[in-house]
C-alpha cells in the first residue's frame, strides 16, 4: 500500500483509498469562562456526522449577532477543535460581541464537494430551529447572521451564501461575508502561479483540488472556479456585503483579490478588500495571539457593526 497524496504533517492518502490525518494540538470546549468567553460542542446532524462548537462571550447585555465559521484545510483537513481555531474564535466572540458557531463538516477525499457546501448550509437550517431550544442561543439575533471562514472555509462561505439566497425559507438573515485568505482556483494559471519558484505551491494546491472536487472534474468545477457557477443578475443584486482579507505573503493573495474584483464586476453592493502586509496564509490560526491577529479581529468586528 503506497502513499498517493500527502501534505507532510497533516494528511496522507493511500492507494487503497484510506486516509491518515495528523491533528495538531486540540482544545477541549469549556463551559467555564476563560478569556471572557465560554464554549461548548453541539451535534448538528448525528447521521453524517456534522458537529459544531459554540463560543459565547461572558455576560451579554443585549441580543447578539451570530457569526457562522467554516474552517480551512483544503476541504481535506481541519477542525474547529484545533487549538488555533479555538483561541481565534473565542477571542473573536469577545471582540465582536457575537455568538460564534464553528462547523465541523465532512472532509474530502472520503466526502468530495459539494458535500462540504451541503453540510455547512445544513448548519444554517439547524441554527434556525435551535434559537428557541438551545439556551446558548437565547440572545442570538438571527436577523444579523454573518458567514466567515478561512482558505477552503472562505470558499464554503461564498457557496453557502448562494444557497441561502436561493432558499428564503430559512429563519436567518445573512448580513455579510467575511472571507479570510479564500481558496479558489481554475484551469487557467494566474501570473503568480506561472512565476519562477511557484511550482511547489501550485503542486500542493492542485493536490488538494484533485482530492476534493468530484471525480472526472477539473479546476473549472464551479466549487473551484467561482466564475463557472450560474448566478443570475437578480441573485447578485441581493448578495450580502463582503469583505475579503488577503495576506501580503500568501500565495493565494492573487486569487482572493481576483474574487473581490469579480464581485465588484457583478455589482455586488458592498465589497471590501483588506490586506495584511508581511503575513502568510492563515496566520491567525498559527498565531492566534499575535498583534496581526488582534488587528484582524478588530477589523472583522468593525465590518459586522457596519452591516
CA dihedral 271, 235, 187, 113 (to 10 degrees): 110
Catalytic residue, chosen from 123, 151, 186, 301, is 151
To the query of whether residue 281 is one of the catalytic residues in this protein, the response is yes
444557497: which residue's cell? 163
* Residue 18: CB atoms within 10 Å: 10
C-beta of residue 154 within 8 angstroms of C-beta of residue 72: yes
Would you put residue 36 in left (φ > 0), alpha (ψ -120 to 50) or beta?
A: left
Catalytic residue, chosen from 71, 181, 281, 284, is 281
From start to end of the chain, where are the E strands? Answer: 3-7, 11-14, 19-21, 37-45, 50-57, 64-70, 99-104, 140-150, 174-180, 241-247, 271-276
Dihedral sign, CA of 132, 106, 112, 211? positive
Which of 10, 23, 2 has its CA nearest to residue 208?
10
* Residue 240: CB atoms within 10 Å: 20
CA distance 113 to 124: 18
477541549: which residue's cell? 28
Which of 158, 164, 169, 79 has its CA nearest to residue 121?
164
Rg value, the chain, Cα: 18
To the query of whether residue 86 is one of the catalytic residues in this protein, the response is no
Dihedral sign, CA of 126, 129, 133, 138? positive
C-beta of residue 122 within 8 angstroms of C-beta of residue 47: no
Catalytic residue, chosen from 119, 250, 284, 301, is 250
User: Which three three-digit cell numbers place residue 194?
Assistant: 506561472
Please give the positions annotated as active site.
Answer: 151, 250, 281
Amino acid at each position: 500500500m503506497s502513499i498517493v497524496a500527502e501534505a507532510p504533517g497533516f494528511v496522507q492518502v493511500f492507494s487503497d483509498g484510506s486516509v491518515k490525518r495528523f491533528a495538531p494540538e486540540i482544545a477541549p470546549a469549556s463551559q467555564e469562562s476563560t478569556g471572557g468567553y465560554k464554549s461548548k460542542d453541539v451535534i448538528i446532524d448525528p447521521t453524517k456526522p456534522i458537529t459544531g462548537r459554540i463560543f459565547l462571550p461572558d455576560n451579554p447585555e443585549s441580543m447578539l449577532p451570530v457569526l457562522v465559521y467554516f474552517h480551512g484545510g483544503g476541504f481535506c483537513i481541519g477542525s474547529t477543535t484545533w487549538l488555533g481555531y479555538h483561541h481565534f474564535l473565542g477571542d473573536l466572540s469577545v471582540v465582536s460581541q457575537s455568538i460564534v458557531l464553528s462547523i465541523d463538516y465532512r472532509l474530502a477525499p472520503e466526502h468530495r464537494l459539494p458535500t462540504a457546501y451541503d453540510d455547512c448550509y445544513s448548519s444554517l437550517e439547524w441554527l434556525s430551529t435551535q434559537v428557541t431550544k438551545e439556551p446558548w442561543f437565547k440572545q442570538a439575533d438571527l436577523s444579523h447572521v454573518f458567514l466567515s471562514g478561512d482558505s477552503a472555509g472562505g470558499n464554503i462561505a461564498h457557496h453557502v451564501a448562494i444557497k441561502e439566497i436561493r432558499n428564503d425559507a430559512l429563519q436567518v438573515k445573512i448580513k455579510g461575508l467575511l472571507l479570510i485568505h479564500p481558496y479558489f482556483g481554475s484551469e487557467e494559471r494566474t501570473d503568480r502561479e506561472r512565476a519562477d519558484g511557484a511550482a511547489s505551491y501550485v503542486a500542493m494546491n492542485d493536490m488538494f483540488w484533485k482530492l476534493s472536487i468530484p471525480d472526472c472534474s477539473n479546476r473549472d468545477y464551479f466549487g473551484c472556479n467561482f466564475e463557472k457557477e450560474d448566478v443570475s443578475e437578480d441573485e447578485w443584486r441581493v448578495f450580502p456585503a463582503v469583505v475579503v482579507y488577503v495576506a501580503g505573503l500568501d500565495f493565494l493573495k492573487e486569487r482572493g483579490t481576483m474574487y473581490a474584483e469579480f464581485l465588484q464586476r457583478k455589482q455586488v453592493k458592498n465589497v471590501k478588500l483588506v490586506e495584511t502586509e508581511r503575513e502568510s496564509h492563515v496566520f491567525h490560526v498559527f498565531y492566534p495571539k499575535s498583534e496581526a491577529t488582534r488587528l484582524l479581529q478588530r477589523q472583522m468586528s468593525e465590518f459586522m457593526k457596519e452591516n
